[in-house]
Chains A and B, each alone.
Chain A
Amino acid sequence: MMNSRQKSIWVFGDYRNYFQNRVTLQLISRAVDLSRIISAEVCAVILGHEIDEYIMEYTAHGADRIIAVDDPVLKNYNTELYVTLMEALVKERDPDIVLIGATDFGREFAPRMAKRLKTGLSADCVGLDVEADGLLIQTAPSFGGNMLAEIVTSRHRPQMATIRPGTFKEIPHNYERRSLVEKLPLMKNLPRPRIRLVEYERSVEKEHTIENAAVIVCGGRGMGNKKKFKKLNDLAKLLNGDVGATRPVVYAGWADHDALVGQAGKHIKPKILFSFGISGAIQHTAGLGEADFIIAVNKNPQATMMKMADVAIVGDTSDVLHTLIKELRKRIRD
């Protein structure tokens, strides 16, 4: 028997910050992979005003179909309107899966949309797979990335997930590709928005926080004293990074509370983490689950932090720090 119903995977077109944030393209790419397993089409949904550019881009990057609502009312992102529109579209078309980038907007918008549709939603996924029967396996981090959970929405549709930017690789563009483009009119009788956007501006300051720093230099009690701890700033500065601290160090007043890394503080995900004089109590390591590459320096090779590290350097923390700074200063080319 032929199943006449065409399965469909939707990707929400989050195009704000298009050039920095490629998450929609990354999701289209993953949707293309998944669509082959369950014979589905990949559909990008774009709400906004003057969005032809995105119709072209999403097509070039792999979408089979585009559903677009282009109207001046949709010029700015608006959670309430977008939820109402997506609710109407989903109810009419009945997609199997809806993927949304875990941007700040996505993480505010997707929960309301899932609730409105009375379906499940997983958050900030770092993996997506699909079983032959169409069940979406959503892998999401928890406990600061130390653990991963496999989540499924078995009885409700669509299956919804927000996905962390950078998880998947976009398909290179091909401007010869064609898709089926449906431009739909804005629906009538939209509710009056209750939230007024008084003002907004693209933030000019680079949003540099320890949570998004590529390099972090963390120090613990093993630095010895405040003066020696402060030397970590020099290494961090040299590497455009931030300094993090353990709880005892914050309590001792060597570092501000803002620098606290761990369960009671910040969860970090640097490409490189230097860890100086840290034994590796779970209260601290709970915040390190997503550090890519860890270099630990400690006089005690048995410290937990040394066992967790990719590179464990045994030695006096201040000596190693001093030498490392000196050598890097000689080698880094701007």
Chain B
Amino acid sequence: MLKLIVCLKQVPIVTELPWDEQAGTLRRDLASGMMNLACLHALEAALQIKEQYSADILAITMGPPAAEEVLREAIALGADRGIHLCDRIFAGSDTYATSWMLARTIKQECPDYDLILCGSYTSDSETAQVGPQLAEELDLPAAAYIEKLEIHGRTLRVRRLVDNFRETLEMEFPALVTVSLENYKPRYAGLSGLEAAFDTGNIDRLNAADVGINKSAIETDGSRTKVRKVFLRKANKENILLTGTAANVVGDFLSKYESKISWAIGKDIEEDRNDE
């Protein structure tokens, strides 16, 4: 029986982006969340492995109390159990700290895993760093941005496209992959599955002390980077309004911006010389 771990992250739905002006961090406690898209692809890859071989899937997430929802969703889709790392002192962790905390939890709760699957990046911070850093923390061979994986005994074979090179890589278990959005289209949980998942008790909530992390450990092994400030990208736009008949507005638009279009498509655009 293969032991799979899927790391999931709840990301804020950006209908509002409440952030703490003073701390310069996002008020995740105020934003409602959803499962990060690439994480759904990683989960889908795990579910397909489970369908093909016999496998046990442990879903792990770190985040505020509401993040438990992504574990419910994962269980509704077919994961076997969930671990929710949840503690105020985890707040504001960078990828260095997050990967350390996840590694500690994995070493303690599921040290005999074969494969760890992560999404290739998250839609909020978009660093794509937690997967590779978790692999480094656990001293595992790893491949990022994989599109397809096959298992032959204890050997993992993955395919990926990186920097215009199509690569096939092999490594032995235990290993880690981050899954791209190219493949493994996520399935969706039916309402009944979600309801059933809310009744199961297969989720453990662990706080910092449960995984042996305290303030002084965070001093040593916690975040290396600090967000000094977050700001909206400046909207430096003219916002020109064109009104009139379709022929007039298109004519106006093209005479003003044809060089811009020409630049974007790499072809010449010329004023039509034969007037109709």
A residues with a Cβ closer than 8 A to B are: 16-17, 20-21, 79-80, 83, 103-105, 107-112, 114-116, 118-124, 137-138, 140-156, 194-203, 207, 214-215, 239-241, 257, 263-265, 267, 270-272, 282-283, 286, 289, 293-295, 301, 306-316, 319-320, 322-324, 327-328, 330-334
- Residues on B with beta carbons closer than 8 Å to the beta carbon of A124: 126-128
Q: Is the interface of B mostly helix, strand, loop or mixed?
A: mixed
A202 in contact with B161 given A147-B232, A263-B123, A314-B242 (CB within 8 Å): no
Interface residues of B in 194-253 (CB under 8 A from A): 223-233, 235, 237-247, 249-251, 253
Give Cα A211–Cα B58 distance, bound, in whole angstroms.
32
* Given A143-B17, A333-B268, A199 contacting B167 (CB threshold 8 A): yes
Which of B185, B229, B244 is close to A149, meaning CB atoms less than 8 Å apart? B229
Q: Is the CB of B228 within 8 A of A21?
A: no
| Sampled A-B contacts (19; CB under 8 Å) | A108-B144, A111-B95, A114-B224, A118-B224, A120-B96, A120-B225, A121-B95, A143-B124, A149-B24, A199-B167, A203-B165, A214-B266, A239-B264, A282-B15, A294-B237, A309-B239, A314-B249, A328-B269, A333-B270
Residue of A83, A114, A215 contacting most chain B CB atoms (<10 Å): A114
- A114-B133, A320-B249, A332-B267 given; A152·B240 CB < 8 A: no
* Total CB contacts across the A-B interface at under 8 A: 266
Q: A149-B227, A257-B185, A331-B269 are in contact. Are A123 and B165 (CB under 8 A)?
A: no
Tell me if A323 and B250 are in contact (CB < 8 A): yes
Q: Tell me, in angstroms, the Cα distance from A143 to B256 when the chains sit together.
A: 32
- Cβ-defined partner of A239 (8 Å) among B167, B238, B265: B265
B interface residue numbers (CB < 8 A to A): 13-15, 17, 24, 34, 37, 94-96, 99, 123-129, 131-133, 135-137, 141-145, 157, 161-172, 185, 223-233, 235, 237-247, 249-251, 253-254, 257-258, 260-261, 263-272
B144 to chain A, nearest CB (A): 4
User: Do A196 and B246 touch (CB < 8 A)?
Assistant: no
Question: Are A198 and B228 in touch, CB under 8 angstroms?
Answer: no
- Are the C-beta atoms of A112 and B246 separated by less than 8 Å? no
Cβ A142 vs Cβ B125 within 8 A: yes
User: A121-B129, A153-B225, A293-B260 given as contacts; is B249 within 8 A of A17 (CB)?
Assistant: no
CB atoms of A313 and B226 under 8 A apart: no
CB atoms of B169 and A195 under 8 A apart: yes
Chain A interface, >50% SS class? mixed
Give the shortest distance, in Å, between A110 (CB) and chain B (any CB).
8
- Contact present for A154 and B226 (CB under 8 Å): yes
Q: Are A330 and B272 in contact (CB under 8 A)?
A: yes
Complex CA gap A29/B224 in Å reads 26
A124 to B121, CA, bound (A): 12
Q: Say yes or no: A152 contacts B226, CB within 8 Å.
A: yes
CB <8 Å contact, B129 and A315: no
Which residues of A are found within 8 Å of B229, using beta-carbon distances? 149-150
Complex Cα distance, B136 from A114, in Å, reads 10
Known: A111-B129, A196-B171, A331-B258. A150 touches B228 (CB 8 A): yes
Cβ of A314 and Cβ of B126 under 8 Å apart?
no
CB distance from A184 to the nearest CB of B (A): 24
